[in-house]
Homo-oligomer: A and B are copies of this chain.
Amino acid sequence: MSEPDPTRRRTITGFSNPTVKFVRSLRDKKHRRAERKFLAEGLRLLTDARASGRLPEMLLMATGRDPHPLIAELETAVLDAGGEVVEMYAAILAKVTGKDNPQAVAGVFAEFDTALSAIERSVAPIWLVAQALRDPGNLGTMLRTGDAVGAGGLILIDDCADPFSAEAVRASMGAIFTQRIAQARWEDFLPWLRGGAGQLVAASLRDAVPYRAAPYAAPCFLLVGNESRGLPAAYEAECDLRVTMPMLGRADSLNAAVAAAVLAYEALAALG
A148 at the interface (CB under 8 A from B): yes
Count of identical protomers in the assembly: 2
Known contacts A145-B255, A145-B258, A257-B258, A265 near B245 by CB under 8 Å: yes
Q: Does A52 contact B (CB under 8 A)?
A: yes
Instruction: Give the docked Cα–Cα distance between A257 and B265 (Å).
Output: 14
For chain A, the bracket of interface size reads 35 or more
Interface residue? A81 (CB, 8 A): no
Please, which residue of chain B has its CB at the minimum distance from the CB of A266? B265
Q: Does A1 contact B (CB under 8 A)?
A: no
Give the contacting residue for A48; candidates B145, B147, B250; CB below 8 A. Answer: B250
Which residues of A does B touch, CB under 8 Å? Answer: 48, 51-52, 137, 141, 144-150, 171, 173-175, 178, 212, 245-251, 253-255, 257-258, 261-262, 265, 268-269, 272
What are 26 inter-chain pairs, A to B, with CB distance below 8 A? A137-B137, A141-B255, A141-B258, A144-B254, A144-B255, A145-B255, A145-B258, A146-B249, A147-B249, A148-B245, A148-B251, A149-B248, A150-B248, A171-B255, A173-B251, A173-B253, A175-B250, A175-B251, A245-B265, A246-B268, A248-B272, A254-B261, A255-B261, A258-B261, A261-B262, A262-B262
